[in-house]
Amino acid sequence: MKNCLIVVNTYKEESHQIAKKITSFLEKKNINSSILEFNGFSDCYPFTGYDLVITLGGDGTVLYACRGCAELEIPVFPVNLGQFGFIAGIQPDEWLSLLEKYIDGKMPTAKRSMLSYKVIRGDKEVAAGCSLNDIVVRSNAAVSMVSVELANNGISLGNCKADGIIIATSTGSTAYSASAGGPIVDPEVEAMILTPINPFSLSMRPLVINARSEVTVKILPSREKNVILSFDGQTPFELLENDVIKITKLEKDAIIIGPSKEKFYNSLRFKLNWSGGPHA
């Protein structure tokens, strides 16, 4: 390993302090390092030429790094300075020992499925991108329904009237999808989770499908004209009637250092209070 990029979340006070320590540590290992500041929103991914990306922040910082690193096959070393840390599983007091283990080739990595999307307007592609957690089509106004037509590999799933629809990965099943009533899926399972947000019909339920599917979402005419697409909670893209969003599995997976089944289920037990009783 020759070059390392350290992504510093500017909203986390200790991130700069830890970045300095990591820089000093890498220098002793004859590894070049650079600092990239991240404020929570960015469509710039300057990761080409690096062998490793270290994130200092919460899960949002990891999502950003994975969107830029997956197709380049660059591993992400996620140090958790956030609240939940479902993806950022390395704690601030253990980065030194675990980074040393990774450099020595003794640290496990895991691959996480990502989503790719394209927005087709008429016969033109007007937007495209990828996400690690989810892609959301929803109204940008409070208490307003959107109407969409859903299909899986060209097979109609019917029309959906709701505040929106979430298409999530297994990794993203613990995020927005879970808060909307979607199932929590083991991140090692390759799947897409379709979760309606406050659907008009009580029969509309979340659906888990094969990750190799192509999901299409067509914006149908409705009174609500302010419809948007967002990915991983980033700056939304405005959609128009008859726009078609095509969502597939990204060809390359994100490579994340340090996650394990034990950490995932411990997060469910302790961070989501799955501790078994009314006084947990």
Q: Annotated catalytic sites, by residue?
A: 59
Phi/psi-derived region of residue 215, left when phi > 0, alpha when psi is between -120 and 50, beta in every other case: beta
The residue among 140 and 101 whose pLDDT is bigger is 101
E runs forming strands in the chain: 3-9, 32-38, 52-57, 76-80, 109-112, 115-121, 124-131, 134-139, 146-152, 155-162, 164-169, 191-197, 207-210, 215-219, 227-231, 237-239, 244-249, 254-257
pLDDT tens by residue, 55-99? 999 999 999 999 999 999 999 999 999 877 789 889 999 999 999
Give, in degrees to the nearest 5, the angle at Cα 272 between 267 and 275.
90
pLDDT tens by residue, 193-246? 999 999 998 888 999 999 999 999 999 998 878 899 999 999 999 999 999 999
What lies within 8 Å, CB to CB, of 12 at 6+ separation is: 56, 57, 58, 81, 82
Burial 99-138 (b: 16+ CB within 10 A, else e): beebbeeebeebebbbbbbebbeeeeeebebbbbbbbbbb
According to the model, what pLDDT value does residue 278 have? 56
Phi and psi, residue 54, nearest 5°: -105, 130
CA distance 44 to 140: 24
**The one-letter amino acid at 13:** E
All structural domains of the chain with their residue ranges: 3-112+253-271, 115-249
Give the confidence band of 275 by pLDDT, cuts at 50, 70, 90. Answer: low
Model confidence at 277: pLDDT above 70: no
Please name the fold of domain 115-249.
Answer: Tumour Suppressor Smad4 (2.60.200)
According to the model, what pLDDT value does residue 14 have? 93
Cβ atoms within 10 Å of 223's Cβ, excluding its own? 8
Q: Are 49 and 72 in contact (CB under 8 A)?
A: no
Give the confidence band of 280 by pLDDT, cuts at 50, 70, 90. Answer: low
Give the confidence band of 107 by pLDDT, cuts at 50, 70, 90. Answer: very high
The predicted model scores a pTM of 0.93
Please name the fold of domain 3-112+253-271.
Answer: Rossmann fold (3.40.50)
